[in-house]
Amino acid sequence: MKWQGAALANLLTKDIDELILLYADQSKGSIMRAKQRYKKKLGEVMERLPNGEGEKDELDRLAEAFKEAGINLTRDDLAKADRAGFHVGYIRNADGEIEYTKPLPHVDFGKKAGESTLSVEPVKAAIIRPSRARGVVRDHKVLFVFSDAQIGYRRIDDELVPIHDEQSIDAALQLAKHLNPDFVVDCADTTDFAELSRHPVDSDHFQHTLQPSLQRTHDLFAEFTAVTPNAERRVTVASNHVKRLTDYVLRNAPALYNVKQVGEKHAALSYPGLLRLDQIGWEYIDGYPAAEFEYKEDLAFIHGTFAVSGGSTAAKLSKVNNDRNIVQGHKHSIESHYQTTRRGKQFGAFVVGALCRTDGVVPSYWSSVGENQPVHRHENWQNGVMVIYDYGDGKYQFDQVPIHNGVIHYQGRTFGGTQSH
C-alpha cells in the first residue's frame, strides 16, 4: 500500500488499533513497520527544527518538517487527520499499559526542554467531623480495603467531569462507617495524575486539572478518617500513578526533589506533602513497586504490578506470594485465588475492585474521544471494595464486595445513594 495524503496523515497520527480498523487489508505488522519508518524520518527532522517562529502555527511547522523529510504530506492533509498525538511507536510496559516509545517534540512547542509547567499549591485542609460511632468490643479485627479511585477530572467546555466514581465512593464510605473498622487500607492509585503522565492522553481535557484533583483526593482521605474514628491505623501505599508526581518533579525540577518546608516530615512536592496526609490521620508508605503495608507476617497489601488478562492476575500474584495472604489493586477488577501448601496452610491472593468510573472516561488504552466528549465504552473493570475479618492465629475471612451502579449489598443491608438501610 502507498501511504500518501490523508492515509499517511492517519498513519502518523492514529493508534495502531485505529489503523487496523481503517485499513483492514493491511496486516498489523506492515502497518507498524510503515509507522516506524516514517516516524523515524520525521523525528530526525523535527528535532532540528526551531520552536514556533512568529505566526507559524503547529500545522505549518509540521508541514515544513514533512517537506524537509521528503514526505509527501501537506498542511491540508494534516488538517483532515484526527491528531491524537505524533508517536514513533509503542510497547506494553511492565504494568501492561501502552507506552509510546518516543514522543516527537511537538507536544508543547512553546515549552523549552526541561522547563517545568507544574503549577500546584497545598490543598485546603478539610474539616473532619468524626462520626459518633463508639469503639466496639469484639473478638476479632475488621479491615476495610479500597483501591484505584483514580481521582481526576476532564475539563470539557470549562466543566470539570470526574473520572472517579462519586457514587461508588459514597457507597464505600457508607459501608466503612457501618463496619467501624480497626484498620483502613488504600491500595493506591487514588489520584490518576493524567496531566503529569508520560503516556500520551486521548485529548487536551486534563490540562489545569491537577489542583482540583489533589483537593478531591485530600477530601476523600479526610472523609474516610471521619467515618472511621476508631481505626487504629489508616494506610496508603505508593503506586504507579502516584509515582507520576515524583517522576515529573525529577524530570522537570530535580533541584526541588525532596525539598521540605522547615519542620515538615514530607517533601513539599511529594504526594503526602501536597495532600497533608499526616494532618488527616493517614500514613503513606513510599517506594513503588516495592512499597507494601505488612499487617502481619501472613497478610500484606501492595498496589501491584501484575495486570494479566483472562482473570488470572490473582493466580500469578499467588505464585510469588505462596507463603502469605496478599492483596493488591492496580487491575481494576475483582479477583481471588487460593492455594493450600503441602503443610496444609491456606493462603489467598486478591485483587480489589476500583472506585473509578468504568465507562470509558478514565484515560486508558481503550479510551477515546469524539466531538470533544469521551466515548462511552465499558472497560472490563469492576467497582468494589474488600472487607477482611481477622480472627487471630492466621484465621481470616476475605469478603470481596462488588459495587453495582453505585450500590453495595452486604450482610443483608444496602449502602449507596445518600442513605444506607
Q: Catalogue all structural domains in the chain, each as residue range(s) with its CATH number.
A: 5-100 (no CATH), 141-420 (3.60.21.10)
Q: Rg (Cα) of the chain, in Å, rounded?
A: 24
User: What are the φ and ψ backbone dihedral angles of 300, each rounded to 5 degrees?
Assistant: -135, 160
Residues lower than pLDDT 70 in the chain = 4-6, 13, 15, 17-25, 41-119, 418-421
Measured distance CA(144)–CA(233) in Å, rounded? 11
Cβ burial, residue 141 (10 Å; 0-12/13-18/19+): middle
Which residues lie below 8 Å from residue 293, measured CB to CB, with a gap of 6+? 185, 235, 237, 285, 300, 301, 302
Instruction: Kindly report the three-state secondary structure assignment for every residue of the chain.
Output: CCCCHHHHHHHHHCCHHHHHHHCCCCCHHHHHHHHHHHHHHHHHHHCCCCCCCCCCCHHHHHHHHHHHCCCCCCHHHHHHCCCCCCECCEEECCCCCEEECCECCCCCCCCCCCCCCCCCCCCCCCCCCCCCCCCCCCCCEEEEEECCCCECEEEECCEEEECECHHHHHHHHHHHHHHCCCEEEECCCCECCHHHCCCCCCCCCCCCCHHHHHHHHHHHHHHHHHHCCCCCEEEEECCCCCHHHHHHHHHHCHHHCCCCCCCCCCCCCCHHHHHCHHHHCCEEECCCCCCEEEEECCEEEECCCCCCCCCCHHHHHHHCCCCCEEEECCCCCCEEEEEECCCCCEEEEEECCECECCCCCCCCCCCCEECCEECCCCCCCCEEEEEEEECCCCCEEEEEEECECCEEEECCEEEECCEEC
| pLDDT score recorded for residue 193 | 96
| pLDDT score recorded for residue 258 | 94
| pLDDT score recorded for residue 128 | 84
Measured distance CA(196)–CA(113) in Å, rounded? 16
As a whole-number percent, the residues of the chain with pLDDT over 90 amount to 60
Measured distance CA(331)–CA(333) in Å, rounded? 5
| pLDDT score recorded for residue 77 | 59
